[in-house]
Structure 1
């Protein structure tokens, strides 16, 4: 059961309600995480602005791969469910590629390097080795793209932390456990 409260509809500000309406139109419902964030419109705005801004820094499949890899490394069941749903329904990723991303890999060698690097960023709390950087560079990523990878990973950590603290009730089809070896 979620540990933070979802505001009653009458307590949601007009601005936050507009955001929830947009999310509801995209998903067909308002996921619990966003309903909870509506209790603090500033936090909802920060999360949505960050997600919107970062949607321009890397291609969608790479961002989905990072989200899945980071959510798996951080043990966020809610985010795994959301990112699996979004990656499949909107991102065009196969279930095999979703499972591989969660395990720090991909069917695409370049995205496999991103998944491994993103998980290393999480597991090392950003203290990646020279070899980690060399591997992601060797896959073809530039330093500006590496900055984007780290920023997307941190944005995913933000929602992972929110949902792990809240123990947000999963309202999206739950995902099964995947291998974490890559």
Structure 2
């Protein structure tokens, strides 16, 4: 049975602002449209690792397994750049641009990172990858602000 915990003293934001939740779900659906679900989950997990969002990590690692992401990829995702050929060229490009978007204070999205992604994705795909990274960062920041913990299972 799944039980959602709350952090005492923190706003139950989705209850207080249900239109925020609805808008975020609409944004999530738009970002996921036509994006490979496995790639989408890798993007969401990597950004959530960088943002220390336990709620999103719990959710998206479970979702990744349901979509067939290999356990080994999930095991080493935090060190994807050092994992050699375990990740495809497209996955590496998506993860690099996700990290750059997530850590904008470290110089933003460099021309090299952008060019690497643009070389392996169509314009539509690149737009979806960027949108997925932006969307999960928004979810991470909302959940971190109100300290949404992962559910107990």
Same fold (TM over 0.5): yes
- Which residue in 2 is equivalent to 1:60? 37
Give the whole-Å Cα distance in 1 for the aligned partners of 2:70 and 2:15: 32
Correspondent of 1:50 among 27, 34, 37: 27
Alignment of 1:7-22 (within 5 A): none
Per the TM alignment, residue 5 of structure 1 is displaced from its structure 2 partner at its CA by 4.1
Match of 1:4 in 2: 10
**Residue 95 (structure 2) aligns with:** 115
Compare the two structures and name the one with the higher helix fraction.
Answer: 2
Q: CA deviation at 1:4?
A: 2.8
1:163 aligns to 2:111 (yes or no): no
Once the two structures are TM-superposed, the CA of residue 143 in structure 1 deviates from its matched residue by 3.0
Separation in structure 2 between the aligned mates of residue 159 and residue 104 of structure 1, nearest angstrom: 22
**Equivalent residues of 2:53, 2:140 under 8 A apart:** yes
Instruction: Tell me if structure 2 keeps the 8 A contact 1:104–1:116.
Output: no
The structure showing larger relative contact order (alpha-carbon pairs under 8 Å, at least 6 residues apart) is 2
Secondary structure of the residue aligned to 2:52 is coil
What value does the CA root-mean-square deviation take over the aligned residues?
Answer: 2.2
Quote how far apart the aligned CAs of 1:104 are.
4.1
* Matched-pair contact (CA < 8 Å) for 2:31–2:129: no
Q: 1:38 aligns with which of 3, 9, 15?
A: 15
**Which consecutive residues of structure 1, in runs of 5 or more, have no partner in the other structure?**
7-35, 174-182
Pair 1:127 & 2:108 matched: yes
- Residues 101 and 134, structure 2, Cα contact 8 Å, conserved in 1: no
Structure-to-structure mapping, 1:138-153, within 5 angstroms: 138=119, 140-153=120-133
Cα separation, 2, equivalents of 1:55 and 1:146: 12
Instruction: Provide TM-score, normalisation by structure 2.
Output: 0.80
Q: Aligned pair 1:85/2:62, yes or no?
A: yes
State how far apart, in whole Å, the 1-side matches of 2:79 and 2:58 are. 15
Q: Tell me the equivalent position of 2:118.
A: 137
Give me the TM-score of the superposition, normalised by structure 1. Answer: 0.68
